[in-house]
Amino acid sequence: MNSSRLVAWDHKAEQEASINHLVGLRKNTSGGLKVDPIGKNVAKAPEKLPAFDPRQFLKRFVTGITSREYRNHQSVFSQGAVADSVYYVLNGKIKLTVLSKRGKEAVVSILPEESFFGEGCLAGQVLRMYTATAVQRSTIIRIEKPVITALLQREPEFSERFLAFLLSRNIRIEADLVDHLFNSSEKRLARLLLLLANFGQESKPIPQIPKMSQETLAEMVGTTRSRVSFFLNRFRENGFIEYSGGGIYVHSSLVSILLHD
C-alpha cells in the first residue's frame, strides 16, 4: 500500500475521532450513528453513573480539606508556588496559564466543573508549573497531598473516578493536538467555544459561557485577535452564538462548523 495514502487515511480517521468525541457521535448496534447530546433526534443512551461528588469521601477526614469561593479573575495558586495539594472544581471554571522567562503568557486550558487540577504533586512535582485563576465565580475544594494519597489507597471508587478523569483529560489533550495540527483556525475556535459550553462532555451543557477577551481566545486557538473577531462576528451573523449578559451564548448548531469540510 502506498505510504502517503496510508498517512492521509490515518489523518482523516484521527480528525473524525476528534470530532466524534466532541459532539457525541457514537456507533450504535445497527452500525448507524446516533447523535448525543447535541442532535435533535437523540436515541436513548445508556444510563450514566451518578454525578461524582468527592465530598462524600472527604467528609471522613477531619483536617486537610478546605472549600473556598473564588471571584472572577482571582488566583487559586501561582506558577512557582509550593505544590502540596490537589484541587477540585465543584462549580465554575478555572484557567491554567504558563508564564515564560521572557514574560509571555500562554493559556494552557480552561477547566470546567468536576475537574481536578494540581495533581502534579502526586508525581513528585515540587513547584507549580502553571497559574490557576478563576474565570467566573467558582467553588474550589483543596485536598492536601496526604489526604488524597490516603483516598487513592483506601477508596476504590474514588481511585476509579480520579483515574477516569486523568484518562479523559489525556484523550482531550490528544484531540487538542490533532485539532491544532489539522484544523483551520475557524474550526478550532468553534470547537473551543463548544468545549467551554460543556457540549460533548459528561457534565450538563452550560450554553452561557463567561465573558472572555478575544486575546485569550486567540492564545488558546493559536491565531490572531483579528481572526478571532472576524470568526466571532460570522458565528453571530449565522445565529451560532449570541452576546448576552456580558458573556457568549453558544448554540448547539455551532457544531456544523466542525462537520463541514
The pLDDT tens digits for 135-162 are: 889 999 999 999 999 999 998 988 998 9
Q: What are φ and ψ of residue 157, in 5° steps?
A: -65, -45
Query: Which H or E run contains 192?
Result: helix 185-196
**pLDDT of amino acid 240:** 93
Query: Which H or E run contains 35?
Result: strand 33-35
Contacts of 206 (CB under 8 A, 6+ apart): 112, 197, 198
DSSP-assigned letters across all residues of 104-115? -EEEEEEE-TT-
Residue 193: helix, strand or coil by DSSP? helix
d(CA 53, CA 67): 13
**pLDDT of amino acid 116:** 92
Residue recorded with cell 477531619: 62
Query: pLDDT digit string (tens) for 181-222?
Result: 888 999 999 998 988 887 766 556 678 887 788 888 888 888
> C-alpha grid cell for residue 74?
482571582
Query: pLDDT digit string (tens) for 20-73?
Result: 455 443 333 333 333 333 444 444 444 555 566 777 888 777 688 899 999 989
**pLDDT of amino acid 179:** 84
Query: Which H or E run contains 117?
Result: strand 116-117
Starting at the edge strand found earlier in the chain, the sheet holding 131-134 runs: 75-77, 131-134, 94-99, 105-111
18 pLDDT above the threshold of 70? no
Name the residue among 95, 82, 102 with its Cα closest to residue 135.
95
For 5-14, 146-155, 170-179, 189-198, which range has the lowest pLDDT when averaged over its residues? Answer: 5-14
Q: What are φ and ψ of residue 216, in 5° steps?
A: -65, -45
**pLDDT of amino acid 175:** 84
Contact present, 178 and 15 (Cβ < 8 Å): yes
Q: Is the peptide bond before 46 cis (omega within 30 degrees of 0)?
A: no
Residue 10: helix, strand or coil by DSSP? helix
Count of positions (residues) in the chain? 261
Query: Which H or E run contains 98?
Result: strand 94-99
Average pLDDT, the chain: 79
- The DSSP call for residue 224 is -
